[in-house]
Amino acid sequence: MSISSNWTVRRLSGALGAEVTGVDITAPTPELIDGIRALLNEHQVIFLPDQSPSPDAHVAFGRHFGKLEGHPNLEADSSLPPEIFQLKASRGGVADEWHTDLTFQEQPSIMSILHMVTCPDVGGDTMWTSLYEAYDGLSEPMKDMLEGLTALHDALPHNRPEQMAVHPVVRVHPDTGQKALYVNEHFTRRIVELNAEESDALLRHLTNWVKHPRFTVRYKWTPGTIGIWDNRCTQHFVLNDFEGERIIQRVTIVGDEVAGARPAQWKPWVREGRLSATSRHDRQLYFYLKSKNKLGS
């Protein structure tokens, strides 16, 4: 797919990220949408400065990429279209823990499109990490083991621990065919096929591994910038190091089908007779698998 000659693309790091100028998202054409998709497949997260779309234009642009859905657990602003999730820092913080959006859903977010409405002069940057690079940097024995594992994700950070899903630890991107490490410190609770101590140790290692600086990019926002990222191959983190107002508006494209590198190679590690003595995450895993008829005989 060729990119318009009017666009200027500037890479931001060796791992991921590009800033694109010469684009007008308020006048989307099929060629523009195809170009954005191609850039996103190449760079995983892209930034379009000087856009400042209205909420309606923001929603209209997002619909070109798929079905939109407001945040399932956070309150919507009644003055905005229901597809837009708005977060004001003055109302209670930022997402300062590494995560991929909504992985506790059976069909998590495909991509997110964020409009930076207002931001402080200093601080409040966002970082992204490439889950392709994180996977590629692992040893071959570790890759082989991880490709046979799955993990339980839940919405405990939103006070909804009953919202759960199990996804492959290594997933394959449906467009690029690349493998990505698909666990995060915010929503991932338990490796399904390992016992609790093994799971805790492995998740601690993997969620720290994805933060390695060589996998990341850091972006300093300016008002009116649009940021678009692919949730199938990235995580992100907001630096809570600022004073002053920071307002973001985001639309989320949903309907992802998470395909693993290969099927799980082992049975879930659950022991029904010892549930009263196990951790909350073990009990949570047991009842989730039971509800899905995945415990076997």
64 is catalytic: no
- Ramachandran region of residue 239, left (φ > 0), alpha (ψ -120 to 50) or beta? beta
250 is catalytic: yes
Identify the active-site residue in 186, 250, 281, 282: 250
99 is catalytic: yes
Identify the active-site residue in 43, 58, 101, 232: 101
Rounded to 5°, angle at Cα 252 from 247 and 253: 160
With helix as H, strand as E and coil as C, how does 135-202 read?
HHCCCHHHHHHHCCCEEEEEEHHHCEEEEEEEEECEEECCCCCCEEECCCCCCEEEECCCCHHHHHHH
Identify the active-site residue in 236, 246, 256, 282: 236
Nearest to 26 by CA among 62, 2, 1: 62
Identify the active-site residue in 43, 99, 167, 171: 99
Q: Is 178 exposed, middle or buried (0-12, 13-18, 19+ CB in 10 A)?
A: middle
Q: What's the alpha-carbon Rg for the chain, to the nearest Å? A: 20
Active-site positions read 99, 101, 236, 250
